[in-house]
Amino acid sequence: MDFPAALKERRASRRLSQLELALKAGTTQRHLSFIESGRSAPGREMVIRLAESLGLPLRERNELLLKAGYAPAYRETALDSPDLAPVLGALTHILDAHLPYPAIVVDRYGEIVAANPGLRILADGCAEHLRANAFRLALHPDGMAPRIANFAEWAWHVLNGIAAELARNPDERLAELHAELSGYVPPARVAPGHLGFAVPLELRTAGGDLRLMTTITSFATAVDVTVSELKLEAFLPADQDSAAALVRAAGQPPEA
């Protein structure tokens, strides 16, 4: 796919008219029309402005630049590079500060990059080969699934999150993972009074039943592709009993 077609496809996927995108990017509808028809070749700065106005992730911005004949603007640093040591150090500090509650850092495919010791209570009894990927850990029959009391609701919460990401940023590998995970999940059943699939995780553990809420943090100002695709998912107790159980599991006395 050449640059004009790629730009038009991304604009259409975000349901933006030429006029809306042109206004966001600080240009005219006529100029954008010429770009999408191939009658005008945009400069590098214009490509970056269009990609930013479309809200493309950094990886896709680089791909769009390449299609337009320009070098990528955003670097992609390996996780084990010394250049990312300060970032990973800061993430480790956040993970440790979240104890005794579980927290993990994952990439765009759910691969676990870092985790605090609280992950043990989630992964207890799960097959070893599933522990590298948070999505498989949560939904695979040999993972957490048998211990999740509200598995269908929680699983659809996870799947809907992945589907929303695919709608924003199509990706073949993520689509394949979504298809795999969908095979582990029963059909969605919407009962009267249904409030959506964004529900607390109800997990049975040796130390008691837990009700956990999740928060997801992304790195909106990152200018490195690798960092921009990381997400920190933190689990928080939804009630006092869950908080006490997590404290006990960590081997710490509960606070007075």
Tell me the CATH number at 124: 3.30.450.180
Is the predicted pLDDT of residue 254 greater than 50, yes or no? no
Q: How many angstroms separate the CA atoms of 188 and 196, rounded?
A: 11
Query: pLDDT tens digit string along 85-113?
Result: 999 999 999 999 999 999 999 999 999 99
Residue 152 lies in a domain: yes
Question: Residue 208 domain-assigned?
Answer: yes
In a domain, 194, yes or no: yes
Q: Region 208-219: what's the mean pLDDT?
A: 92
Give tens-digit pLDDT for 165-208.
888 888 899 999 999 999 999 886 666 555 555 678 999 999 89
Answer yes or no: is 255 within a domain.
no
Residues 38 and 147 in one domain: no
Looking at the structure, do residues 118 and 181 belong to the same domain, yes or no?
yes
Instruction: Provide φ and ψ at 169, rounded to 5°.
Output: -140, 85
Long-range contacts of 197-201 (CB under 8 A, 24+ apart): 197/153, 197/154, 197/156, 197/157, 197/160, 198/157, 199/150, 199/153, 199/154, 199/157, 200/150, 200/238, 201/148, 201/150, 201/154, 201/235
Query: Both tokens of residue 17?
Result: 């008219």
pLDDT of 252 above 70: no
Domain span at residue 144 reads 82-249
Q: Mean per-residue pLDDT for 219-246?
A: 93
Residue 32 falls inside a structural domain = yes
pLDDT over 50 at 160, yes or no: yes
| Res. 150 pLDDT band, cuts 50 70 90 | very high
The per-residue pLDDT for range 22-70, each reduced to its tens digit, is 999 999 999 999 999 999 999 999 999 999 999 999 999 999 999 999 9
Give residue 256's pLDDT. 44
What is the pLDDT of the chain when averaged over all its residues? 91
Task: Give pLDDT, residue 237.
Answer: 96
- Into how many domains does the chain fold? 2
Across the range 215-237, mean pLDDT stands at: 92
